[in-house]
Amino acid sequence: MILAGLALTPPYYLVLSALMFAVGATGLLIRRNPLVMFMCVELMLNGVNISFVAFGADLNDVGGQISVFFVLVVAAVEVVVGLALVVAINRRRADATADDVSLLRG
């Protein structure tokens, strides 16, 4: 096999991480359903998590995994508050998309 002599070096993980981040960012720009936009933010966070673990493995240091742990906590809190906002907005106005919430627009 061609792959037999190759090692899984950090660039493989970093390119995968970049792909995942870019897909998430594109989705965030395309979609207008706030729930799906939050899912795209999760994609971006997970893309970054992959590169954290890859860097940690490359440096033989546990710091990368610790960073992922903290990102996970922040992501959980972000989802809780974000979904609470979505529920609060939907209570006032059903079927609201991100474009409809424009009260602060100048």
Partner 1 sequence: MAEFITFFCGAAIILAGAIGVVVARNAVHSALFLIQTLLGVAVIFVVQEAHFLAAVQIVVYAGAIVILFLFVIMLLGVDKAEDLGVEPIAGQKPLAVVLGASLLATAITFVLVATDGATGVGSGDPERQLDSGITDIERIGRVLFTEYAVAFQLTAALLTIGVIGAVVLTRSLSSADQLDDLEPASMDLPSLAPEGANDEHHVDTVEEDAS
**Site residues for partner 1, window 58-87 (CB under 8 A)?**
58-63, 65-66, 68-70, 72-77, 79-81, 83-87
Give the residue with the Cβ less far from partner 1, 50 or 106.
50
Q: Which of residues 18-57 bind partner 1 (CB under 8 A)?
A: 18-27, 29-33, 35-36, 38-40, 42-43, 46, 49-50, 53-57
Residue 103 binds to partner 1 (criterion: CB under 8 A): no
Three-class secondary structure assignment of the chain:
CHHHHCCCCHHHHHHHHHHHHHHHHHHHHHCCCHHHHHHHHHHHHHHHHHHHHHHHHHHCCCHHHHHHHHHHHHHHHHHHHHHHHHHHHHHHCCCCCCCCCCCCCC
Residue from 93, 95, 103, 104 binding partner 1 (CB under 8 A): 95
Residue from 4, 93, 103, 106 binding partner 1 (CB under 8 A): 4
